[in-house]
């Protein structure tokens, strides 16, 4: 059975929803991209997993499907949480987020702080937050805010919520002075440093501009740079002039979700269950398939065929990480995952190459043809038909290695020697 992308996507959504729910959260919001799913299906998912979605500005069929706010108590302090969504949402009306947030805040019982979940693009976020009053901290859910100090829009402090599973934004509210003002910890120092940096930048650009002008060079680019740096400087000077003393402290940190962060057992169990189910539903992906058994009509030969003539190179390739790339996915329970197979196999997505994990069969691993291109005609008549890429260069690696998945480790100069064939030419052919 071929792993079907749509079915896997549905299964994944349930997995994600279950994992969110097991984390025990109090509130969440939906961004525009979440509405790729129809509102009824999303509502069913939310109900199944009891997701605490807030959407103050959403109206479907004349009623609000999700509450506008919730109130939680922590350490003796009550915190009101309000949230909006971003549209369009098919069949529903998405109201003005600023007006909806203000109304939701107005409807809260007396609370010690107000948190707003605002998943809007930056420009809209700025407009909304400069209009709405009464928010202690707003969460920007777009992943663009990665700083460890909250920044201010209007009278509201804004923090980032992390990015794509790579970082987790955390914010702590320390109640020190009941009813008092709020400010980020270390804010003044941070601003002073930023101001210094901005001043230096203006100086450097000014100097460069004058030199270029004296030398008769085109200065239009530097003029633009100077203008934007001056605006940045003016904004910072205005921020410094605006006092940000607060008895109550906002502390923000972005945690890098790498190997140093342990697995959450309950979440791991949910994810593991889904992956095992997927692999079991697609047995072809884990069974050992000889390279010879490629289907008809493919331009790929499989490395077993290449190794018959290129003996030494074949043996050298067997010793590289590329020859184990598929086993890595099998061991990781990800061999049936449509999001993983492409770089751990050969010719994925190419004409005559595998289009999904079950079609990988003989083209598992990063074989010869992943770098050299399809070689069936070369196998038949080596002298008359050179490989499409006889001498691969960096471009042959980048599709797989210069992506987010490759974790930024790739360095061509150090990576190439590790996979380079020691044998040269075709002397290795018996």
Please report whether residue 386 would count as binding ligand HEC according to CB under 6 A: yes
Q: Is 286 in the site for ligand HEC (CB under 6 A)?
A: no
CA atoms lying within 13 Å on the CB side of residue 65:
23
Sign of CA dihedral 17, 23, 27, 32: negative
Near ligand HEC in 5-44, by CB under 6 A:
none
Kindly indicate which of the ranges 78-86, 118-126, 236-244, 317-325 contains the residues binding ligand HEC, using the contact rule CB under 6 A. Answer: 317-325
State which of residues 44, 88, 332, 385 lies at the interface with ligand HEC (CB under 6 A): 332
Q: Does 298 bind ligand HEC (CB under 6 A)?
A: no
Please, which residues have CB within 8 angstroms of residue 143's CB and are 6 or more apart in sequence?
Answer: 160, 161, 162, 163, 164
The yes or no reply on residue 254 touching ligand HEC (CB under 6 A) is no
How many Å is the Cα radius of gyration of the chain? Answer: 28
CB of 410 to ligand HEC, least distance (A): 6
Asked whether position 371 contacts ligand HEC by CB under 6 A, the answer is: yes
Candidate residues 77, 308, 319, 385; the one interacting with ligand HEC per rule CB under 6 A? 308
247 within 8 A of 180, measured Cβ to Cβ: yes
For residue 58, the cross-strand partners are: 94
Binding mask 334-363 for ligand HEC (x = CB under 6 A): x--x-xx-xxx-------------------
Matching residue, tokens 């740079």 = 225
CA 185 to mean position of chain CA atoms: 28
Q: Judged by CB under 6 A, does residue 294 bind ligand HEC?
A: no
Does 164 interact with ligand HEC (rule: CB under 6 A)?
no
Instruction: Specify the DSSP class assigned to residue 36.
Output: G
Question: Measured between alpha carbons, how far is 224 from 139 in angstroms, rounded to an integer?
Answer: 32
- Contacting residues for 146 by C-beta, under 8 A, at least 6 apart: 160, 163, 167, 169, 254
Residue 54 in contact with residue 117, Cβ under 8 Å? Answer: yes
Q: What is the DSSP letter of 53?
A: B
What is the separation of C-alpha 208 from the centre of its chain, rounded to a whole number of angstroms?
37
Please identify which residue in 54, 226, 313, 363 interacts with ligand HEC, judged by CB under 6 A.
313
Which range touches ligand HEC (CB under 6 A), out of 111-119, 227-235, 356-364, 385-393? Answer: 385-393
Task: Please say which residue, 228 or 426, places its beta carbon nearer to ligand HEC.
Answer: 426
Q: Which is nearer to ligand HEC, 123 or 381 (CB)?
A: 381
Site for ligand HEC contains 99 (CB under 6 A)? no
Nearer to ligand HEC, 136 or 355 (CB): 355
Distance (Å, rounded) from C-alpha 82 to C-alpha 317?
57
Q: Phi/psi at 131 (nearest 5 deg)? A: -95, -40
Q: Which stretch binds ligand HEC (CB under 6 A): 71-79, 97-105, 122-130, 318-326?
A: 318-326
Quickly list H helices, 252-310: 265-281, 303-309
What residue ranges bind ligand HEC (CB under 6 A)? 301, 303, 305-310, 313-314, 317, 321-322, 324-325, 328-329, 332, 334, 337, 339-340, 342-344, 366, 368-372, 375, 378-379, 382-383, 386-387, 390-392, 396-397, 399-401, 403, 405-406, 409-410, 415-416, 418-419, 421, 424-426, 429
């Amino acid at each position: 059975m071929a792993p079907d992308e749509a079915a896997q996507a549905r299964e994944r959504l349930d997995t994600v929803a279950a994992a969110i729910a097991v984390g025990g959260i109090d509130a969440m919001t939906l961004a525009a991209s979440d509405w790729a799913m129809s509102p009824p299906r999303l509502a069913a998912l939310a109900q199944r997993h009891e997701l605490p979605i807030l959407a103050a500005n959403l109206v479907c069929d004349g009623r609000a499907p999700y509450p506008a706010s919730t109130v939680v108590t922590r350490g003796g302090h009550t915190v009101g949480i309000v949230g909006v969504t971003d549209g369009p949402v098919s069949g529903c009306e998405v109201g003005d987020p600023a007006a909806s947030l203000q109304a939701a805040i107005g409807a809260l019982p007396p609370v010690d702080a107000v948190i707003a979940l605002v998943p809007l693009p930056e420009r809209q976020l700025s407009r909304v937050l400069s209009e709405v009053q009464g928010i202690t901290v707003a969460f920007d859910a777009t992943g663009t805010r990665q700083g460890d100090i909250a920044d201010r829009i209007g009278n509201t402090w804004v923090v980032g919520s992390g990015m794509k599973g790579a970082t987790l934004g955390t914010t702590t509210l320390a109640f020190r002075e009941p009813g008092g003002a709020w400010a980020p910890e270390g804010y003044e120092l941070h601003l002073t440093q930023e101001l210094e940096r901005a001043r230096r930048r203006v100086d450097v650009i000014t100097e460069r501009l004058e030199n270029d002008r004296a030398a008769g060079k085109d200065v239009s680019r530097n003029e633009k740079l100077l203008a934007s740096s001056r605006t940045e400087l003016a904004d910072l000077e205005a921020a410094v002039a605006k006092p940000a003393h607060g008895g109550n402290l906002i502390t923000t940190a972005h945690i890098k979700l790498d190997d140093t962060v342990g697995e959450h057992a309950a979440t791991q169990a949910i994810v593991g269950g889904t992956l095992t189910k997927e692999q079991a539903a697609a047995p072809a992906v884990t069974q050992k398939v000889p390279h010879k058994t490629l289907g008809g009509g493919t331009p790929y030969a499989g490395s077993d065929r290449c190794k018959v003539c290129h003996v030494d190179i074949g043996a050298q390739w067997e010793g590289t990480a590329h020859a184990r790339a598929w086993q890595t996915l099998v061991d990781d329970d990800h061999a049936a995952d449509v999001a993983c197979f492409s770089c751990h196999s050969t010719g994925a997505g190419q004409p005559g190459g595998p289009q999904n994990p079950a079609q990988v069969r003989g083209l598992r691993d990063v074989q010869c043809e992943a770098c050299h291109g399809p070689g069936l005609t070369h196998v038949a008549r080596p002298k008359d038909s050179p490989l499409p890429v006889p001498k691969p260069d960096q471009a042959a690696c980048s599709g797989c290695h210069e992506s987010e998945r490759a974790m930024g480790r790739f360095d061509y100069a150090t990576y190439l020697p590790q996979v380079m064939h020691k044998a040269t030419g075709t002397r290795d052919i018996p």
